[in-house]
Amino acid sequence: MAAVIEVDALTKEFSRPDVRPGRFAGTRSLFTRARKVTRAVDGISFRIDAGELIGFLGPNGAGKSTTIKMLTGILVPTSGTVTVAGQVPWRDRRQNARTIGAVFGQRTQLWYDLPLRDSFGIIRDLYGMDAATYRTRLGEFTELLGLDEFIDTPVRSLSLGQRMRGDLVAAMLYAPPILYLDEPTVGLDVVAKGKIREFVAEINTRRGTTVVLTTHDMDDVERLCRRVIIIDHGVLLYEGDLESLKARYVTTRDIVVHATEFDLTSVASPFAEVLTAGPAKATLRFAPATTSTPKVVHDLTSRYPITDLSVLEPDLEDVIRQLYTERRTG
């Protein structure tokens, strides 16, 4: 696969006058040249292939928005390079605007007083779309996202979930090959979240749109992303498969067994440690690095009349927390 986004040693510093508290606090900055520099992004490099749906993660203040702003051409880097579909985003802004779509969860790009339908019409004209393509695409998106009920309602009267769906359509109408989504499900109910996830998965698989998804919602990540980039304090912590990340940080797995006609209180296994054991249910822990799941399952089911069994999935939130902690203390 060819890389569609290439980021190399990317750095962004923000600098502002350093006003210190004191007797002349208010006037000090007029007379000194002292400036306070924040390095929001600190030399990160990564590649995103065409057609990927990648999670871009990090705690608050990690530098995610600053990075996305450089990828979309809103901010100019202090140093380092970015190419998006062969262009330098802040230099080729006009061309870049056709290459990318962007949705920022916290604010809308739609016209507040207009119904969605009129906003979409403006986008059609801005991007010079032909009538047939526009009609087909809008029809397809309307159906996917269930826009019918509110497409003629002014944006200011829409609920957050409805508005988000409108924003997604607006970003995808002209079929940009790359879509940036910044917290697209924040504050939404389960139904609206589900619709948005379905839409994102659909455009990624069916149209091959490359999607860069920033989110604090680990459900979004689990459901949508195979690969993730994780940053903290402007530094790259991880770039790779979600599964490998879990494998690296999850050193133990828990298995829960149930029995209806047998007392599990004294359950034991040479391959796992018993965490809790009651008459009908027991939880055991094993190390996947040395013992395979089938081995533990086979051992338990061959020796006990087990009626139900489940291996607990590692919690992504725990994995990521561990990654942040390791970096801060290590």
CB of 63 to ligand ATP, least distance (A): 4
Residues of span 118-157 touching ligand ATP by CB under 6 A: none
Binding mask 43-82 for ligand ATP (x = CB under 6 A): ---------------x-xxxxxxx----------------
Q: Smaller CB distance to ligand ATP: residue 66 or 99?
A: 66
Q: Which is nearer to ligand ATP, 40 or 188 (CB)?
A: 40
Q: Which of residues 187-216 bind ligand ATP (CB under 6 A)?
A: none
Structure tokens at 115: 């119904």
- Closest to ligand ATP by CB, 17 or 279: 17
Which tokens in the block code for residue 226? 């195979």
Residue 32: CB minimum distance to ligand ATP, A:
19
**Helix axis angle, 160-172 to 116-126, nearest 10°:** 20
Which helix (H) or strand (E) segment is 74 a member of? none
* Contact flag: residue 244 with ligand ATP (CB under 6 A): no
How far apart are the C-alpha atoms of 214 and 233, rounded to whole Å?
Answer: 16
Q: Give the Cα separation of 59 and 101 in Å (integer).
A: 24
End-to-end CA distance of the chain: give it in Å, rounded: 34
CB of 81 to ligand ATP, least distance (A): 19
Stretch 9-48: interaction string toward ligand ATP, x if CB under 6 A: -----x-----------------------x-x--------
Q: 194 CB contacts (<8 Å, ≥6 apart)? A: none
In the complex, the smallest distance separating the C-beta of residue 238 from ligand ATP, rounded to whole angstroms, is 15
Q: What share of the chain is helix, strand, coil (3-state, %, to 5)?
A: 40, 30, 30
Residue recorded with tokens 């006058």: 17
Q: How far apart are CA 278 and CA 221, in angstroms?
A: 35
**Under the rule (CB under 6 A), what is the footprint of ligand ATP?**
14, 38, 40, 58, 60-66
